[in-house]
């Protein structure tokens, strides 16, 4: 039960952090991502000695570079794309798009790692894709939402373009994130997960700082580290989503089966949609609910293959 509680807790805390990140959009996506990564890295660097752990300095140089590359792709690049998608889609629609993560991971496993493809993956993947299309194309066709009925055609067209761009950004972020996990998978299985996660965060923060060094015009995002009213939501979101939820996620995989933990982790989609309706006022329409149910069901089929 401890492992199941950890996995479910990780899903709930991640959903909570998404709501808080949505309320922190006074800052740009790049700024929010850098802030949450620095916060999580600082806490992990304090956690390692508390757990009596440290870095394996005898690790081959190639392994260090692989983990750093994984961090740059999965944390610096992918998370920024996801934050950009959150701004355009809202929390609930992003949660539906996030269901594509499991099929993408399995696809990379088949292509890169030579894992076997199953019938449940094909069915589940089709359900995820169909669910995402149903949920995210609401208001685009003739079945426009009531709140769009009074808007100008130009505004509706701009909203549709923004949604399409948001879906593409979210999907790209998921693909990049999945790739970063797949290339680091052998090390994640072999080495200490907290240590490996810390190294990946170092790579993510380092990649972001290198980008700022190369593009001076973007250094204005560093103002995110100046205390402001937005910290009331941004700081808890960073701690809950990138640190506490991560530790609970690891605990879920440690104390229960991987399939059970994965299924409970996917509950974050349901939690996010409900929390977004309560705290952000995002509408749960029949179309969005059906699309979310299909996407979640498809993700569960993929994970239970």
Please give the pLDDT value at position 141: 46
Please give the pLDDT value at position 157: 67
Alpha-carbon torsion (115, 119, 125, 128), positive or negative: negative
Render the burial of 121-134: b for 16+ CB within 10 Å, e for the rest: beebbebbbebbeb
Strand runs labelled E in 136-253: none
Cα–Cα distance for residue pair 263/45, rounded to 1 Å: 30
Please give the pLDDT value at position 47: 92
Please give the pLDDT value at position 144: 40
Please give the pLDDT value at position 155: 59
E strand or H helix at 160: helix 153-190
Please give the pLDDT value at position 266: 81
Using DSSP, state whether 116 is helix, strand or coil.
Answer: coil
pLDDT in tens, the chain (305 residues): 788 889 889 989 999 999 999 999 999 999 999 999 999 999 999 999 998 989 999 999 999 999 999 999 999 999 999 999 999 999 999 999 988 887 887 787 777 766 677 777 788 888 888 888 888 777 544 444 443 444 455 556 668 888 999 999 999 999 998 888 888 878 877 888 889 889 999 999 999 999 999 999 999 999 999 999 999 999 999 999 989 998 888 788 778 766 677 777 888 888 999 999 999 999 888 888 898 899 888 888 877 65
Place of tokens 């001076």: 216
Under 8 Å between Cβ of 89 and 170 = yes
Cα–Cα distance for residue pair 282/277, rounded to 1 Å: 5
From residue 263, alpha-carbon distances to 21, 35, 99, 119 in Å are 24, 29, 11, 18
For the chain, the straight-line distance linking the first and the last C-alpha, in angstroms and rounded, comes to 23
Cα–Cα distance for residue pair 181/233, rounded to 1 Å: 28
């Amino acid at each position: 039960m401890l492992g199941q509680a950890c996995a479910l807790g990780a899903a709930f805390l991640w959903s909570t952090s998404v709501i808080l990140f949505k309320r922190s959009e006074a800052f740009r996506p790049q700024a929010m991502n850098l802030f949450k990564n620095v916060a999580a890295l600082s806490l992990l660097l304090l956690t390692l000695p508390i757990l009596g752990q440290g870095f394996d300095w005898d690790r081959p140089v190639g392994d260090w570079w692989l983990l750093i590359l994984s961090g740059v792709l999965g944390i610096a690049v992918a998370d920024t794309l996801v934050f950009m998608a959150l701004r355009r889609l809202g929390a609930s629609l992003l949660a539906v798009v996030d269901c594509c993560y499991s099929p993408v991971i399995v696809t990379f496993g088949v292509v890169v790692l030579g894992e076997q493809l199953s019938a449940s993956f094909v069915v589940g993947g089709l359900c995820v894709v169909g669910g995402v299309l149903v949920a995210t194309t609401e208001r685009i066709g003739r079945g426009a939402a009531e709140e769009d009925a009074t808007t100008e055609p130009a505004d509706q067209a701009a909203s549709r373009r923004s949604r399409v761009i948001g879906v593409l950004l979210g999907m790209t972020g998921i693909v990049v994130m999945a790739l970063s996990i797949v290339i680091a998978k052998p090390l994640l299985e072999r080495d200490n997960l907290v240590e490996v996660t810390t190294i990946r965060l170092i790579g993510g923060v380092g990649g972001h700082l290198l980008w700022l060094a190369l593009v001076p015009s973007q250094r204005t995002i560093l103002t995110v580290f100046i205390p402001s009213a937005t910290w009331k939501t941004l700081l808890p979101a960073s701690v809950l989503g990138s640190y506490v939820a991560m530790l609970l996620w690891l605990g879920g995989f440690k104390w229960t089966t991987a399939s059970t933990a994965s299924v409970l982790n996917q509950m974050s989609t349901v939690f996010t949609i409900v929390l977004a309706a309560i705290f952000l006022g995002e509408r749960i329409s029949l179309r969005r609910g059906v699309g979310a149910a299909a996407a979640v069901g498809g993700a569960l089929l993929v994970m239970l293959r």
